[in-house]
Amino acid sequence: MHTKSYSEHLREAEYCGMRWRILKLSPLCDEHSAETLPKIRIVRTRCNSKACPRCQLLYYRKIRKALRLASIDNQWRMFTLTGIHHPNEEDQDLQNLESNFRELRKKLKRKYPKFQYFAVKELSPDGNWHYHGLWNIYIEFNELVKLWKEISGAHRVWLSKVRRPLSAINYIFKYCFKSINNKRELRALYENDKRKFSSSKGLLTRHKNKSLYTSEYGLTYSVDELKEELYNVIHNSDITLGDFASDDYPYFEDLMLNLYDKFIDEHPPNLFSPERLTSFAG
């Protein structure tokens, strides 16, 4: 369980992305990467918390991409399973729903050995927890109703054939992206230490970290510290404007131009090599 309260963690999450990290191209990368990629990247620091909407958005995009690479075709089915709602007992309802779904998966796995699934929890506006998901089996609607009622006591289920896999995946992830602004749901998941989604082992391929960039000493910088450090990098190397990149720093190109202008103003032109002047001018 978490050692900090949800409110404490939210206060920390407010500062997510407000500091920066300088990544340098790894000396172990291949020659092609060394020639085509920027030598330095500037990235935001992230808290990676379940309570942080920014981090959750990035995380869900990453998982959606992994699911798109999975072997989901039009033999799969979309499903919805709704638990029993008890007013003012949302935390217990969440525990029960997860436990009941776990029991359902065990039964389906015994009957369908190649069973695979991906499921997302959602808290509806009226406080009712339920699952939206995909699985790779065909089961009769009435059979599923009977099985789910035996396990959970609830009878509300829905099944539909997947006609376009990409559309089905986007439909399921709609409920992930909706939850980013659902503070009630975020709090419940955080305080009960529950994940938003679950999946079969091996369905989502785990990719090794293929980043070609490294961060020295894990240092982070405020905006002013970052400007000073980047100026020092320019001052102590032959790196050109094109050797820097950032996807999410606002006005990054203007920042770099200002730093190079400052460098030129503070150093006589005869200190520049012809190559450096040519690169900067271009």
Q: Are residues 148 and 44 in the same domain?
A: no
Residue 120 falls inside a structural domain: yes
Question: What pLDDT score was predicted for residue 1?
Answer: 59
Mean pLDDT for 146-158 is 94
Task: Classify the phi-psi angles of 17: left when phi > 0, otherwise alpha if psi is within -120 to 50, otherwise beta.
Answer: left
Tell me, yes or no, whether 24 and 80 share the same domain.
no
Question: How far is the CA of 227 from the CAs of 151, 162, 258, 260, in angstroms?
Answer: 59, 51, 10, 11
| Domain encompassing residue 181 | 70-199
pLDDT of residue 92: 94
- Asked if residue 59 belongs to a domain, the reply is no
Do 104 and 193 fall within a single domain?
A: yes
Is residue 109 situated within a structural domain? yes
Report residue 50's pLDDT band, with 50, 70 and 90 as the boundaries: confident
In a domain, 63, yes or no: no
The total number of structural domains that make up the chain: 2
Does any domain span residue 259?
yes
Order of strands, sheet of 20-25, starting from the edge strand that comes earlier in the sequence: 213-215, 20-25, 40-44, 244-245
Which H or E run includes 214? strand 213-215
pTM for the complete prediction?
A: 0.78
Residue predicted with more confidence, 123 or 26: 123
Mean pLDDT of the chain: 88
Taken in order 273, 276, 277, 278, the sign of the CA dihedral is positive
Residue 207 belongs to a domain: no
What CATH number corresponds to the domain at position 125? 3.30.70.1910
Q: Show the tokens assigned to 118.
A: 């991906």
Judge whether residue 282 has pLDDT over 50: no
**pLDDT value at residue 14:** 85
Does residue 175 belong to any structural domain of this protein? Answer: yes
| Distance separating alpha carbons of residues 124 and 129, to the nearest angstrom | 6
User: Which of the four pLDDT bands, split at 50, 70 and 90, describes residue 267?
Assistant: confident
Question: What share of the chain has pLDDT > 70, as a percent?
Answer: 91
Could you tell me if residue 195 is inside a domain? yes
Do 93 and 184 belong together in one domain? yes
